[in-house]
Amino acid sequence: MRRVEVFPSDGGNSMLKWYRVRNPLRVVVNFLVIYACRFLPSLALKRALLRLLGMKVGRNVSIGLGATFDIFFPELIEIGDNSVIGYNAAILAHEFLVHEWRRGRVRIGRDVMLGAKCLVLPGVEIGDGATIAAYSLVNRDVPPGAFAAGVPARVRRR
């Protein structure tokens, strides 16, 4: 099971009360910075801007065009040194559900390759040196050095 905190919603759809979860002004600032980073060609500038939001971004991390990070809790995302985040990948640290919402830290280790259009859910840890194939849904931990692929992602070899 993923490491997430669960918060019940008071009366149905938790997304309707998103403004109670996080200050709307903070969400707007996060959105503007993260959205701008999706299209910036400079990897160094992307890393610097994401660090300003509280993300822990290691040295020499490469973030591909269109990669998107959680706008509510970017400070819960950690990416280790020398990792590559592929084109249009998405990393979430929260999820709104019908009767609850969840929040969890995402840790991506050193030398990780996260393929194009991957989705990483809250509370997941990807170990050092792991490779995640393109279009994979990472909904559970991936051990160090493993190759994982699929929807949901499964370890194919270690």
pTM of the model: 0.93
Q: Name the nearest CA neighbour of 67 among 37, 92, 95.
A: 37
According to DSSP, residue 133 is labeled -
Is the backbone of residue 137 left (phi > 0), alpha (psi -120 to 50) or beta?
A: beta
Which residue segment(s) compose the domain that 54 sits in? 5-157
Look-up of token digits 């692929």: 149
* AA letter at 124: V
| CATH code, domain carrying 70 | 2.160.10.10
- Mean of the per-residue pLDDT values of the chain: 96
Residues 6+ apart with CB under 8 A from 158: 143, 145, 146, 147
| Confidence at 73, pLDDT banded by 50, 70, 90 | very high
Task: Write the pLDDT tens digit of every residue in 100-154.
Answer: 999 999 999 999 999 999 999 999 999 999 999 999 999 999 999 999 999 999 9
Q: How many domains does the chain have?
A: 1
